[in-house]
Copies of this chain bind each other. A is one copy, B any other.
Amino acid sequence: MRDDANTDEVTLGRIETEVALLMRLGEATRRASGTAEHRVLDRAAYVILRHLAGAGPQNVSALAAKLNLDGSTVTRQVSAMQRDGLIARTPDPADGRGTVISPTPAGLQRMAAVRAARTRLYGDILAAWSPDDRESLADLLHRLNEALESRTRRR
């Protein structure tokens, strides 16, 4: 029993290490490709467009809640995105205070382009992996995110 508990703690420590490392690498990658050609879409704009595309047009508040960001942050993000023609603001017909944010065709097109580029990137990075391992990684990451998200919501 002692050994099992130990092994488990070691595994948790490894997961902690690897997640921290992944975050660092991910940010470095984003920064590096951000300044270069791929300045098409900064990170926040990408996740906002992903969310709008997946869950449909919605209010700033709904977006902020989903993205775990302050409303003011999202306001400024969507302002910038509107300036760039990526989203459109329309008054919410059901609530005079609200404005509905919808992706524009140009926004969707750019999001798709970034997504395709990223997918290609992963294809490149994981070129040597077996399909099974790729599947496992996708599954486990999905479950990890579910677990993280449910905990975030719960708190």
Contact = CB atoms under 8 A, between A and B. Distances in A.
A30 to B, nearest CB: 8
Interface string A110-149: 0000010011011111101101011111101111110111
Interface in A23-78: 23-29, 31-32, 46-47, 50, 67-69
A94 to B, nearest CB: 28
A138 B25 contact: no
B141 A22 contact: yes
B15 A126 contact: yes
B20 A141 contact: no
Consensus secondary structure, chain A interface: helix
A149 B18 contact: no
Nearest to A25: B148
Contacts of A12: 119, 122-123, 126, 134
Given A8-B131, A26-B148, A125-B144, 12 more contacts: A9-B119, A11-B134, A15-B126, A15-B138, A22-B145, A24-B67, A25-B149, A28-B67, A32-B68, A32-B152, A125-B148, A126-B144
| Shortest beta-carbon contacts, A-B, top 8 | A28-B68, A18-B141, A14-B138, A137-B140, A16-B118, A12-B119, A125-B147, A11-B134
